[in-house]
Amino acid sequence: MSDTTPLAAQGAGIGRSGRVALWARGMRRALVPVLTVVAVLVAFWYLACIPMNAGAAVQQAARADIAVSPESAAERRQMGGLALALRNPGVAVAGAFGQERARLPAPHQVAAELWSGVAGQSVTSNRSLVYHAWVTLSATLLGFVFGTGLGIALAVGIVHSRVMDMSVMPWAIVSQTVPIIAIAPMIIVVLYSVGIQGIVPKAIISAYLSFFPVVVGMVKGLRSPDAMQLDLLSTYGASARQVFFKLRLPASMPYLFASLKIGIAASLVGAIVGELPTGASAGLGARLLAGSYYGQTEQIWAALLAATVLAAACVGALGAVERVLLGRMGMRT
Amino acid sequence: MLLVSLALVLWAGAWWMNARLATGPARDSAAVRAAVPLIFGATLLALWELGVRGLDVPMVILPAPSVIAATFAGRLPTLWEDFVQTFLKGALSGYVIGCAAAVAVAIVADRFAFLRRGLLPVGNFMAALPIVGTAPILVMWFGFDWQSKAAVVVVMVFFPMLVNTVAGLADTGSMQRDLMRTYGAGYLQTLVKLRLPAAMPFIFNGLKICTTLALIGAIVAEFFGSPIRGVGFRISTSVGQLALDMVWAEIAVAAIAGTLFYGAIAALEKRVTFWHPSHRS
C-alpha cells in the first residue's frame, strides 16, 4: 500500500484499525530516514576507528615482527593516524576493531561492554551499570522533584505578584547565564563539611538546573488564558483562587510538560556532573571519571550510552504521562 | 544577633520599597524597571554579608561577599589568565566552530527533505542527552590544552543549534514563498533573501541557549584534565585547598563572562531582527 492511499479507501482498513494504519504510516515516514541517518552514523563510527586506532594497531604489528611502512618507531609517532592508516592499510584495518583500551572503541565493543555491564553482573554489584544508573537516577529524580516544585511555586508567585515578577525574574535569568556547574564541586564539598553527603548535594545541583525551564514554561502557561476567558470567569464572579484552579492551572499543562521534558534532561546532566568533582564511588559520572583515569575507553562509552538510555527513558516516560493526562483533560493528544 | 535582626529589617524594608515602586505611579518607567531587580540583588548580597557575620558562619563554608570581592581584586592577573584560557580560547572558539557547522548542516538538511526527516529526530534526541559526558573522551583525543575544551563545546552546541536553525528555515509562509517564485527567484536567492532572514529569530534563540552551554562545556572539560590555568582547573584545585573565596571569585568571573556573552548576543539579535514583533513593542 503506498503512502498516499487514503485511510478511507476501499480495503485500506482490512486487517488493521485506522489507528494502527496511521501509526504505521507515520512510522514509515519517520523511521526510514531516521534509521538511514543512524546507519550512516554507525558506519562513520566504524570508519573512524581505522585512523583513530591506526597508531596502536601499527605498533602492535611492529612488535609482532610484521613489516610496517615507516620502520622507526619515532618516525611513526610523528605521523597522524590517517597517514599511518593509508601507508599500512592491511594492518590498520585488521587491528582497528578489536583493541583493548582503543582510542575509539568500535560500536560492537561498546555494545558488548554495555551488555556485560547490564546483564553480566548482579544488580547490586558495583560493576553493574544498572546499579550505577540507579544511583544517578535517584539523585536525578529527587532533584527534579525539588526543582519542579520550586519552579512551579516561583511561577505562581511571579504570575500573581508584580513585585516578584519585576524583582525575581531578571535574577532567575541571570542565574542561568552563570555556569552553575562551576559551583557543583563547592556545593558538594561544603555540604560534606557540614555532614550532608550522598544523594542530597547531587540533587541540589539537579534541582538548580531543572528549576529554570519550569519557571519560564509555567509563567508562560499560567499567562496563556486570553482576556476573553478571564473575562468570562470574572462575569461568573470567580475568585482569584477559582480562576487559578479552574482556568490558569489546566491551561498551563501543555507548557508544563514541555518544560518538564527539558528539566529532567538538565537534571540528569546535573546529577552526572555532581558526581565528577568529588571522585564519587558510584554513579554514571563516577564511571566516566574512573574510565578516564584508567584509560578504559569502553567503560566511558558504555557509561555514556547508559546515560543516553536513561535520558531517553525519562523523557519518554514524561511524554507518556503527558499524552494520557492531556488526553483525559480533552486537550490534543 | 544584632546583625541578623538588622538583616531581617533590611529585607523587609527593601521588599516594602520594591512593592511601592512596582505598584506605584511610575511603575512602567525604565528607571523603576531597572531599579527593582537591582534593589533585590543588592538586598540579597547585604543579607548574605550580614547573615554570615551575624551567625559566625566559618569562612571555610561560606565566605562573605566582601571577602570574595577582596580576593577578586587581589588576584586579578590570575583571574584574567583563567578567563583567557577558558573563555576566549576554549569556549569562544568552540562556540563559533560549533554554531557555524550547525547552521551549515541545517541548510544542507533543509535542502533535502529525506535528510531533514532523518536528522531532526536524531538531533532532537541528541540535544536532550548529557553530552558533557563526552568530555573525558574528547580530552583523551585532543590533549589537555584548550583544543579539547573547544571540541567539547563544539559537540555541546551543535545539536541545539541544528534543531533551532532547521525549525527557523521552515518558518516561512507559503504566500511568502509564492511571492519569491513570482519574482523568478532561484533556490539560492530565496534562501539568502527570504528564508535565512526569516530564520534569524530561531537562529538567535539557538545562539543564546548555546552561550551558557559553551561556558559549561569548557569548564566541565577542565575537570578531566587541563594545563595549570583555566576557570574549571582553578575551581577544582581551590576546592581541594578549601580556598572557597577563590572559588567564588572564579564563579563571579564565569557569571560576568556568561552574562556579558549572553547580553552581547541579545544586543546583536535586537539589531538583526528589529522587524520581529517581540522587538517592535
A195: confidence class by pLDDT, cuts 50, 70, 90: confident
Flag whether B66 is in a domain: no
pLDDT on residue A278: 61
Which candidate from B36, B61, B129 shows the least CB-CB separation from A194? B61
- Do B51 and B104 belong to one domain? no
Question: Under the phi-then-psi rule, with left for phi > 0, alpha for psi from -120 to 50, and beta for the rest, what region is A67?
Answer: beta
Q: Does A250 touch chain B (CB under 8 A)?
A: no
Flag whether B62 is in a domain: no
Phi, psi of B183 (to 5 degrees): -75, -10
Chain B partners within 8 Å of A273 (Cβ): 132, 220
Length reported for chain A: 333
How close is the nearest chain A Cα to the Cα of B259, in Å? 5
pLDDT on residue A8: 54
- Do B170 and B47 belong to one domain? no
Residue B255 clears pLDDT 50, i.e. is over it: yes
Q: pLDDT over 90 for what percent of chain A?
A: 7
Residue B180 clears pLDDT 50, i.e. is over it: yes
Tell me the mean pLDDT in the region A218-243.
88
Q: How far apart are CA A213 and CA B226, in angstroms?
A: 31
pLDDT on residue A145: 94
Answer whether A88's CB lies under 8 Å from A95's CB. Answer: no
pLDDT on residue A177: 67
List pLDDT tens digits, range A306-323.
Answer: 888 888 888 889 989 988
- Do B35 and B78 belong to one domain? no
Q: pLDDT over 70 for what percent of chain B?
A: 98
List pLDDT tens digits, range A8-32.
Answer: 555 554 555 556 666 666 666 778 8
Counting the structural domains of chain B, the total is 2
A contact residues 145-204, partner B, Cβ 8 Å cutoff: 162-163, 165-171, 174, 176-183, 185-186, 189-190, 193-194
Which candidate from A103, A167, A177 shows the least CB-CB separation from B259? A177
Q: In this predicted structure, which of A258-272, B129-143, B201-215 has the lowest mean pLDDT?
A: B129-143
Chain A partners within 8 Å of B219 (Cβ): 179, 181-182
How far out from the chain centre does Cα A240 lie? 38
Chain A partners within 8 Å of B128 (Cβ): 261-262, 265, 311-312, 315
With CB atoms and an 8 Å threshold, state whether A303 touches B133.
yes
How far out from the chain centre does Cα A272 lie? 11
Residue B185 clears pLDDT 80, i.e. is over it: yes
Flag whether B65 is in a domain: no
Which sign, positive or negative, has the C-alpha torsion B154, B160, B162, B164? negative
Cell 527593582 sits on residue = B36
Domain encompassing residue B98: 72-280
Question: Under the phi-then-psi rule, with left for phi > 0, alpha for psi from -120 to 50, and beta for the rest, what region is A97?
Answer: alpha
Structure letter (DSSP) for residue A331: S
- Do B28 and B85 belong to one domain? no
- Do B102 and B190 belong to one domain? yes
Where in the sequence of chain A do the CATH 1.10.3720.10 domains occur?
129-328
Give the residue, B34 or A259, on which the prediction is more confident: A259
Q: How far apart are CA A52 and CA A151, in angstroms?
A: 45
Length reported for chain B: 281
Q: pLDDT over 90 for what percent of chain B?
A: 8
Residue A225 clears pLDDT 80, i.e. is over it: yes
Q: How far apart are CA B109 and CA B38, in angstroms?
A: 45
- Do B42 and B76 belong to one domain? no
Phi, psi of B76 (to 5 degrees): -55, -45
A1: confidence class by pLDDT, cuts 50, 70, 90: very low
Q: Does B242 touch chain A (CB under 8 A)?
A: yes
With CB atoms and an 8 Å threshold, state whether A304 touches B235.
no
pLDDT on residue B104: 93
With CB atoms and an 8 Å threshold, state whether B255 touches A177.
yes
Chain B partners within 8 Å of A185 (Cβ): 223, 235-236, 239, 247
Q: How far apart are CA A126 and CA A137, in angstroms?
A: 15
Task: List the alpha helices (DSSP H) in chain B.
Answer: 2-23, 30-54, 65-74, 76-83, 93-111, 113-127, 135-142, 146-169, 174-182, 187-190, 196-223, 231-240, 244-272, 277-280
Tell me the mean pLDDT in the region B150-159.
89
Q: In this predicted structure, which of A63-77, A108-122, A260-274 has the lowest mean pLDDT?
A: A63-77
pLDDT on residue B125: 77
What's chain B's average pLDDT?
Answer: 84
A2: confidence class by pLDDT, cuts 50, 70, 90: very low
Residue B215 clears pLDDT 50, i.e. is over it: yes
Answer whether B51's CB lies under 8 Å from A199's CB. Answer: no
pLDDT on residue B85: 87
Q: Class of A129-328 per CATH?
A: mainly alpha
Tell me the mean pLDDT in the region B215-239.
82
Q: Which residue in chain B is spatially nearest to A38 when comparing CA positions?
A: B122
Q: Is A67 helix (H, G, I), strand (E, B) or coil?
A: coil
Give the residue, A60 or B182, on which the prediction is more confident: B182
Q: How many CB pairs under 8 A join A and B?
A: 164
Q: Which residue in chain B is spatially nearest to A34 when comparing CA positions?
A: B118
Q: Is B202 exposed, middle or buried (0-12, 13-18, 19+ CB in 10 A)?
A: buried
Residue A77 clears pLDDT 60, i.e. is over it: yes
A3: confidence class by pLDDT, cuts 50, 70, 90: very low
Tell me the mean pLDDT in the region A215-243.
88
Closest among B268, B276, B160 to B217, alpha carbons compared: B160
- Do B84 and B140 belong to one domain? yes
Strands (E), A109-167: none
With CB atoms and an 8 Å threshold, state whether A185 touches B27.
no
Q: Which of A73-77, A256-260, B56-60 has the highest mean pLDDT?
A: A256-260
List pLDDT tens digits, range A267-309.
Answer: 888 888 888 766 567 788 888 888 877 878 888 888 888 888 8
Cell numbers standing for residue B82: 583563567
Q: Does B122 touch chain A (CB under 8 A)?
A: yes
Residue B3 clears pLDDT 70, i.e. is over it: yes
Cell numbers standing for residue A308: 543516553
Q: What is the largest CA-CA distance in chain A?
A: 91
Flag whether B67 is in a domain: no
Closest among B17, B65, B219, B58 to B132, alpha carbons compared: B219
- Do B123 and B230 belong to one domain? yes
Tell me the mean pLDDT in the region B116-126.
80
Residue A90 clears pLDDT 80, i.e. is over it: no
Answer whether B219's CB lies under 8 Å from B235's CB. Answer: yes
Tell me the mean pLDDT in the region B113-141.
80
A contact residues 199-228, partner B, Cβ 8 Å cutoff: none
Q: How far apart are CA A30 and CA B120, in angstroms?
A: 10
pLDDT on residue A85: 76
C-alpha to C-alpha distances, B85 to A41, A141, B99, nearest whole angstrom: 33, 35, 20
pLDDT on residue B241: 82
Cell numbers standing for residue B9: 529589617
Residue B270 clears pLDDT 80, i.e. is over it: yes
Q: Which residue in chain B is spatially nearest to A191 when comparing CA positions?
A: B61
Specify the pTM. Answer: 0.79
Tell me the mean pLDDT in the region B266-278.
82
Question: Which residue in B108, B223, B237, B241 has the most chain A C-beta atoms within 10 A of its own C-beta, making it the best mutation to test that interface?
Answer: B223
